[in-house]
Amino acid sequence: MLQACLNGSRDKDFHAFTPLTPAELAADAAAVVAAGANELHVHPRDTQGLETLDPLAVAAALEAIRARVPGIPVGLSTHARIAPGGAGRLACVEKWTVLPDYVSVNLIEPDAPEMIRLALSRGIGVEAGLWSATDAERFASLPESRTVLRILIEINEQDEAEALEAASAIRMVLARASLDVPVLQHGLDATKWPLYRDALMRGLDTRIGLEDGKELPSGEEAEGNLALIKAALEMARVPPDPAVTR
């Protein structure tokens, strides 16, 4: 499965075509799905272009996207820096009237178990975001660890060797816990493509989009999300070299 992560916390200063408004998100969603993306991950924005979990902003983004790509799963982030932040995030999720198909929850955050339980209680799937082996240990100890939609191995390290080692450490914890849950692995910026290739080699789900970086495999800046998805699909058609992704 290839998920398109369309914007994240990025803005127009990061890339001129970062989609922020409902209309922009919907247009990019239609383009990447037509190209072959299977799912979408977005961060709705308020009128100032800032990330928000406000029910009205969430509804506007989801409705615009679903009008263009009906039936395609759409997920949102719940990370701690999204307004209103802290416990207010849970209050917003409780008030959502239009629900995403899933939300991502970072296990590094103190209230992750509460957010996971709230989402599941509302019938929203959960992507459990693991940044480290410590996060993986915490997740494996939760009663909900076998009921989530998937696990996200989310690597922030920028050195390729360190990034691959961090991902391996997480997978080892998951293997010891015998968690039979789908896994999506992805990197960030300098390690976006190395972690993508590694995911392909291991048969894992993965994702690509401006949230995770704007460069193509060549190092050139992509024109936008569509170019990144096309590059990812082209790479997937070429069997990864095990000597490159160890």
Q: How far is the C-alpha of 202 from the C-alpha of 170, rounded, in Å?
A: 14
Classify residue 183: in a domain, yes or no: yes
Our count of domains for the chain comes to 1
Average pLDDT over residues 10-25: 98
pLDDT at 112 over 90: yes
Domain membership of residue 244 (yes or no) is: no
Structural domain boundaries, residue 136: 2-237
Residue 245 in domain: no
> 198: which residues sit within 8 A by CB, 6+ positions away?
164, 167, 185, 240, 245
pLDDT digits (tens, 9 = 90+) for 69-84: 999 999 999 999 999 9
CA distance 82 to 102: 16
Q: Look at residue 2 and tell me whether its pLDDT is greater than 50.
A: yes
In this prediction, residue 244 has a pLDDT band, given cuts at 50, 70 and 90, of: very low
Q: Would the pLDDT of 148 be above 70?
A: yes
Would 246 be classed as within a structural domain? no
Question: pTM, whole model, 2 decimals?
Answer: 0.93
Residue 146 sits in a domain whose CATH number is 3.20.20.70
Sequence-distant (6+) residues with CB within 8 A of 28 are: 4, 6, 19, 224, 225, 226
